[in-house]
Amino acid sequence: MEFIIYEEQDNIAIITINRSRALNALNSNVLKELDKVLDRVNLDRIRALIITGSGDKSFVAGADISEMHKLTKAEGEVFGKRGNDVFRKLETFPIPVIAAVNGYALGGGCELAMSCDIRICSENAVFGQPETGLGITPGFGGTQRLARLISVGKAKEMIYTARNIKSEEAYRIGLVNGVYPQEELMEQALKMASNIAKNAPIAVRAAKKAINEGLDADMNSAVKIEEVLFGSCFETEDQQEGMAAFLEKRKANPFMNK
C-alpha cells in the first residue's frame, strides 16, 4: 500500500496513515487503502488496534482540499459517503480501536479519531472541524459524533465557529482520554492496548457491541441488548477459566478467544 503502514506487535495491530508530505490528509486513495487494510486484520489473533499518523506534526490534517475543491454536488455526496462508510466500518469494528493522535486532527482527521473507541493525544495535538470556514459542513460524521462525545452546545460552537482547540481543552471537554508528551504517546497507546488484549476477547467485543448499539436505543431496548450479549459470554472457555481462577484464588491462564 502507498499510504498505509500496517504492523503487528503480538496481538496488537498498528495502522499508520503515511502521507506525511501532505500532513497525512485523506484523499480517495487513502480512504480506499484504509478500507482494505481493515479487512486484513486477523480478528482471531488481533485483540486491539491502534491508529496513528506518520511524523510528529500531524495525525490527519483533514480531507484533501485539492481533491475536493472542484467537486459537484453529486460528487460531494459520493465523497462524503466514501468517508462515512470507512469510518462507520471502523466505529463498528469488532475489536477496540485506539486513536493515538500525534498532532493535527482537523476535519476528516478529527472525524477519524472520533470513529475510534478511545482517543489519546500528544501535547502538541490540535483538534477542530474547520469546514464551515471553507464553505462546507463536516462530511465524514463530524456533525453527528462530536455532539455525542462532548456537549451539544460545545460541538455546535466548534463547528459553527470553525475554531480549533488544543490538547488541554480537548481533554477538559472529554474529547480525549489522556494527553502525553509526544515521545511517550505510542508507548501509552501500546500499554492501553495491552491492558485490553489481556482480557477475554469475546467479552471485550461483546462489551463494545453492547455500548455502541445501546447508545442508539432507548433504555428498555438497550438493557435487552446487554442481556443477550451478557448471556452469550457464558459457556465460553474463557468465561469458565476466568471464573474458575477467581474462585480458586489463582491467576487465570491466558484467554484463548474461545
Selecting among 8, 67, 75, 111, the annotated active-site residue is: 111
131 assigned to active site: yes
Using the Cα atoms of residue 153, residue 123, residue 111 and residue 223 in order, give the sign of their dihedral.
Answer: negative
Range 130-148 average pLDDT: 97
pLDDT in tens, 182-229: 999 999 999 999 999 999 999 999 999 999 999 999 999 999 999 999
**Do the strands 165-166 and 126-128 form a parallel or antiparallel pair, or are they unpaired?**
antiparallel
CATH T-level topology, domain 201-247: Lyase 2-enoyl-coa Hydratase; Chain  A, domain 2 (1.10.12)
Selecting among 2, 77, 131, 227, the annotated active-site residue is: 131
Range 26-48 average pLDDT: 97
| pTM of the model as a whole | 0.96
Domain definitions of the chain by residue range: 4-197, 201-247
187 assigned to active site: no
In angstroms, the CA 85 to CA 220 distance is: 29
Asked if residue 63 has pLDDT above 90, the reply is no
In angstroms, the CA 69 to CA 81 distance is: 17
Range 1-25 average pLDDT: 96
CATH architecture assignment, domain 4-197: Alpha-Beta Complex (3.90)
CA-wise closest residue to 52 among 145, 149, 125: 125
- 103-138 residues labelled b (16+ CB within 10 A) or e (exposed): bbbbbbbbbbbbbbbbbbbbebbbbbbbbeeeebeb
Please tell me the predicted confidence (pLDDT) of residue 124.
97
Please tell me the predicted confidence (pLDDT) of residue 235.
87
Beta bridge partners of 104: 58, 126
- Crossing angle for the helix pair 73-91 and 28-40, nearest 10 degrees? 30
